[in-house]
């Protein structure tokens, strides 16, 4: 069985590319496969920064606790429900996209209600995402086209009126984590 670390290593974009270009496009099948691997890899851990110090989280254990509670709530014997907590139990991941869909839509509904979603702070990453309402509007812009030959001037296409309806756009807030910066008098 592939471990989460092995799968992440296979998917990881190089530091040079990330620093220069940022993230690459999402490949849903790879994401769903990674989520399935993490669901079953009890050795995959994440360190979360809490106010009283770092805490190690095992995402597979968190998912298994949730599943156990669902099984018990459905009226299945508590002892039988305990089976999902064992390393011998493999969480079926064929429909992992359905779980991810639920989580995605819950986060989006929360953000559309006007709130920011905060990811757990990690040693090297702090990030919050949200939505901002963009009201309907128009703007007039002078559009230009690229030059036909290299080094030539851009061609003027004239004035255009852009119109848009009310919509939302994504907003990301991210700062350098306290654990990654120092300050000293000079």
Cα(61)–Cα(149) distance, integer angstroms: 59
**Tens digit of pLDDT for each residue in 126-170?**
999 999 999 999 999 999 888 877 778 888 899 999 999 999 999
Cα(99)–Cα(102) distance, integer angstroms: 5
Q: Report if pTM > 0.85.
A: no
**Tens digit of pLDDT for each residue in 14-59?**
889 889 998 889 889 889 989 999 999 999 999 998 888 889 999 9
3-state secondary structure of 36: helix
Q: What is the pLDDT of residue 105?
A: 96
Bridge partners (DSSP) listed for residue 174? 127
Asked if residues 42 and 61 have their Cβ atoms less than 8 Å apart, the reply is yes
């Amino acid at each position: 069985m592939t471990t989460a670390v092995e799968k992440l290593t296979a998917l990881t974009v190089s530091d040079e590319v990330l620093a220069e270009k940022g993230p690459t496009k999402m490949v849903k099948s790879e994401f769903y496969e990674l989520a399935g691997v993490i669901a079953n890899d009890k050795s995959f851990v994440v360190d979360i920064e809490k106010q009283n110090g770092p805490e190690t989280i095992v995402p597979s254990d968190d998912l298994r606790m949730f599943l156990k509670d669902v099984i018990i709530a459905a009226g299945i014997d508590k002892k039988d429900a305990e089976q999902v907590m064992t390393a011998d139990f493999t969480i079926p991941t064929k429909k992992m996209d359905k779980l991810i869909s639920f989580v995605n839509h819950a986060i989006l509904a929360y953000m559309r209600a006007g709130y920011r979603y905060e990811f757990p702070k990690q040693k090297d990453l702090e990030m919050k995402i949200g939505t901002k309402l963009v009201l309907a509007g128009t703007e007039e812009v002078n559009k230009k086209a690229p030059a036909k030959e290299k080094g030539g001037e851009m061609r003027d296409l004239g004035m255009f009126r852009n119109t848009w309806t009310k919509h939302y756009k994504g907003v990301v807030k991210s700062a350098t984590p306290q654990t990654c910066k120092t300050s000293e008098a000079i």
